[in-house]
Amino acid sequence: MVAIIAMLGTLGGGYCVGTYKKLLVEKAARQFLLMARYARIMAIEQQRPYELQIDPNNRGFLLATTQTDPQTGESHKVLVRDYFCKPVKFEGDVKFEDVQLLSYGEAGSAQTDLESRVMFFPSGSAEPAIVQIGDGKTHCSIAVVAATGKADLYPGLTTDVRGVSVDLDLEEGNGTSRR
């Protein structure tokens, strides 16, 4: 009888640990998604670029912007930390598993991004990105569309993400061109 109870406890405990790890991945992905959406809104409202920075040690992310000192006129980068936004540190085995960034500055020249960041511009656009967050077993991907700066969350790998570009010449819903 004791052996049966011990086996049931072990099975239940293993199930709970697996569920907990899955929830940590999903939580981190939702936090990244919400911070990307917040960055887009703030860039439009404040009329200055915001950048979603990925920790080079793969332990989290944060939001930063450039502010100008009204007295000196000098610009400096500041960390965004308010009621709606604060730096995020990953818990458990959660990490960035895949980060695909392509830098298209407002001027339109494409270049490979050497820094791990996604820029959001005052025009509402952003640098395109697909980011995969996971723990080796559970994966979530977040895609940021360049033209609109909008971000969406997808369960699974970055290779499973389709349609992260937007054709602004097509009418929504029926796929016909608006010419």
- The Cα 11–Cα 41 span in angstroms is 45
Averaged pLDDT, 46-67: 92
- The Cα 137–Cα 61 span in angstroms is 21
Tell me the pLDDT tens digit for each residue of 97-151.
Answer: 999 987 655 434 344 344 689 999 999 999 999 999 999 999 999 999 999 999 9
Q: What CATH number should be reported for the domain whose range is 2-160?
A: 3.55.40.10
Q: How many CA atoms lie within 13 A of 46 on its CB side?
A: 17
Is the pLDDT at 175 greater than 50, yes or no?
no
| pTM for the full predicted model | 0.78
Q: Where are the domains of the chain?
A: 2-160
Q: Which of 15-29, 90-104, 165-179 has the lowest mean pLDDT?
A: 165-179
Identify the pLDDT of residue 10: 61
User: Both ends of the chain: CA-CA distance in Å?
Assistant: 75
Tell me the pLDDT tens digit for each residue of 70-79.
Answer: 888 888 898 9
Q: How confident is the model at residue 28 (pLDDT cuts 50, 70, 90)?
A: very high
Among candidate residues 107, 141, 155, the one with its CA nearest the CA of residue 127: 107
Q: How confident is the model at residue 17 (pLDDT cuts 50, 70, 90)?
A: low
Residue 35, both tokens: 């911070």
